[in-house]
Every structure is written in C-alpha cells, then in structure tokens.
Amino acid sequence: MAEQEEVLRAEGLRKSYNVGQPNEVEVLHGIDMRLDRADFAALVGPSGSGKSTLLNLIGLLDSPSGGELYLRGQPTREMDDEARTALRGRHIGFVFQFHHLIGAFSALENVLMPWMVANGRPTPEITDVARGLLADVGLEKLSDRRPDQLSGGQQQRVAIARALVTRPSLLLADEPTGNLDTKTAAEIFELLRRFNEQFGCAVLVVTHDPRLSETCDRTITLVDGEIVSDESHPRSRQSR
Ligand SMILES: Nc1ncnc2c1ncn2[C@@H]1O[C@H](COP(=O)(O)OP(=O)(O)O)[C@@H](O)[C@H]1O
Ligand SMILES: [Mg+2]
C-alpha cells in the first residue's frame, strides 16, 4: 500500500557536538523513528531538546555520530558529501523559521533555486511548475516581487513553494511559523497539510504551539535527546 511506503528510518541515531574536545556533548542519545509517505507529523519538545539537531540529521545537512539513517531504504551514513547532497536535492525539501530567501531574486526565482542548483538553467516546464506552486500558495500575482516586498507570511509561503519545487518525498520544517501571528501560522499548517495530501509528501514539522501540533496526525515528543512519546491522532483529519 502506497500510504505505508517508508520514506525515512532512523536506527539508534546519535549526535555529539565538539567531538574530541573537553566540551564534547551528546545531544541525541539513540533515536529510532520511521516516517511513511502519508505521515503528517509534529516534532515537539522543550527548547534545547535536540529538535533542530534531529531535523538537520534527517535532512542530511549534518552527519550522525552513531546509528544509521535510511532514506527510502538507502543507508546514508557511509555516503560521501557529494552523494548526500545529491540525495538531499532529490528527496528532501526544507523550510526554516527564517525563510532564507535570496533578497536580490524574485519570488519565482527563489522557488526555482533548488531546481537550478541541481539542474542549471530553468526549462519552461520547471518554470511552469514553479508558477503553479506559487499559485497553490496563493501568490500567483506576486511572483515578480522580491522578498522585502512581501509580508512574513507571504515570504514563508514562497519558502514552502521553494521546498516543493523538486517534488521531494519528505518535507522538513523547523519552526516554520515561529515568527508569524496565530492566524497566519494556522494557514501555513493548512498549506503543509494540503501538500502532504496532494503530493503524498511526508511532512515533519517542529512547532511549539500545541494548537498546531494537534492538527497533525502524529506527535513525536523529544526530551533531552530522546523520544519520550510518539502518538498517532489521525482523528484531526476526519474532524476537519
Ligand atoms: N553546533 C553546536 N555545537 C554545540 N552544541 C550545540 C550545537 N547545536 C546545538 N547544540 C546544543 O545541542 C542541544 C540541542 O540543540 P537543538 O537541536 O538546537 O535543540 P532544539 O531545536 O530542540 O531547541 C542544545 O543543548 C544546544 O545547545
Ligand atoms: Mg530548534
């Protein structure tokens, strides 16, 4: 069944910082988790519990100190940087708290960036895909604007469209609504949900807001570098 298709699996994932130095510290102590294609999951936990560290490992932006991470069944720990970068570019989309859009580029050019990094000059086909994504996030009329001509919520919508332009199988979002008002934050979560259903793209989103994590189908709680609970609550899907 497609819904059960495994996108990501972590086995005994560990992460230490400052390895070999007096201030060496292990911040993830053996994470086991699995994300399937249909998952729309929240990652919650106190500040400093290791959420961003875990997201960076899962997103192949950083390497674990121990354990293994499988992306679509492929072990990634032994890969060299080039292979990891290629795998990340193909399968993972990222949204951060601060959008990291490029100021000199239009919304459309920003959305095209991840594709251009992997493939070079944009084709008419991918430009259509990017315009379609901007329309999906409600910004079709603003595609020529630069980030500083957009509101915070609009910038984050561009960042979501950008994360999806390569049609990733996994979308990772680290406090994407951290600096947005409540209503805009809820709209961003609705968008993530819509793409999860529309593209069959697994979503893992870090949030501090229980009202937002409740809209997800699953809540994974991290405390002091360990998963202390992993609860499914798919009722939110039916009650919408
Ligand atoms: N680059 C780093 N070097 C050293 N310690 C770090 C680094 N990044 C994060 N940490 C520490 O790791 C722990 C987890 O941090 P983080 O993953 O950012 O947590 P969260 O996102 O849940 O707030 C914290 O104690 C933090 O201080
Ligand atoms: Mg964090």
Can you give the CATH number for the domain in which 189 is found? 3.40.50.300
Tokens (6 digits) for 34: 């699995």
For 34, the domain range is 2-18+28-103+168-239
Lowest-pLDDT choice from 126-135, 167-176, 177-186: 177-186
Percent of the residues in the chain that have a pLDDT greater than 90, as a whole number: 85
Pair 34, 69: CB distance under 8 Å: no
Domain membership flag for residue 122: no
How many domains are there within the chain? 1
Domain membership flag for residue 44: yes
Domain membership flag for residue 225: yes
At residue 10, the pLDDT reads 98
Domain membership flag for residue 215: yes
At residue 149, the pLDDT reads 97
Count the Cβ atoms, other than its own, within 10 Å of residue 168. Answer: 22
Task: Report the atom number in ligand 1 closest to the C-alpha of 53.
Answer: 17
What is the rounded average pLDDT for all residues in the chain?
92
- pLDDT classification of 98: cutoffs 50, 70, 90: confident
Domain membership flag for residue 159: no
Region 81-88: what's the mean pLDDT? 91
Domain membership flag for residue 52: yes
Domain membership flag for residue 125: no
Residue that has been written with the tokens 């979560």 in this structure: 189
At residue 2, the pLDDT reads 52
97 Cα–ligand 2 center, Å: 9
Task: Report the atom number in ligand 1 closest to the C-alpha of 54.
Answer: 17
Residue 201 CB-density burial (10 A; 0-12 exposed, 13-18 middle, 19+ buried): buried
Task: Report the atom number in ligand 1 closest to the C-alpha of 46.
Answer: 22
pLDDT tops 60 at residue 89? yes
Q: Residues with Cβ within 6 A of ligand 1?
A: 17-18, 27, 45, 47-53
Domain membership flag for residue 203: yes
Which numbered ligand comes closest to the C-alpha of 43? Answer: 1
Tokens (6 digits) for 15: 């992460």
- pLDDT classification of 113: cutoffs 50, 70, 90: very high
